[in-house]
Amino acid sequence: MNLLVAADKNWAIGKRGKLLVSIPEDQRLFREETIGKVIVMGRKTLESLPGGQPLYGRKNVVLTRNRELTKKGVEFFYDMETALSFLGQFPTEDIFVIGGAEIYREFLPYCDTAHVTRIDYAYEADTYFPDLDANPEWAVTAESEEKTYFSICYAFRRYERRE
């Protein structure tokens, strides 16, 4: 499985349920990577999508404790075991975990690749992603050149779980 995340220099990913920053190239890469694939998220991430609607052209999977939720185009699961069983029907390389923080933490042990947009800035935040640089199980296997969007410097990094 894959993870897709944008994190600042302190591995912060959000504040008050919102992303820290919006970078068009990051959004384009997200779209290209996930179209026709399976995306896994939590309820709050689903609610943060445009109109609170599932993303078109993808299989939307939501892990939530709220058993009352229903939404057309979304597969809801209430525990990891059932969600993982459902995801087992898809090639692991076609599954992308897209947040939020609790979902990232729960699925990290099952992922072997993380696509991280590292933003060279420390934002004020209340939500964080696990620090893969400090985790000996993960290694950077690819990195883009530094890019800029107005005053925001960032790079795309690919982390892979070590054997």
pLDDT score, position 163: 82
Please choose, from the candidates 56, 64, 84, 62, the residue with its C-alpha nearest in 3D space to the C-alpha of residue 74: 62
Mean pLDDT throughout 28-54? 96
93: CATH: 3.40.430.10
- The pLDDT tens digits of the residues spanning 87-109 come to 999 999 999 999 999 999 999 99
- Domain range for 53 is 2-161
Q: How many domains does the chain have?
A: 1
The residues near 87 (Cβ < 8 Å, ≥ 6 apart) are: 1, 38, 40, 61, 95
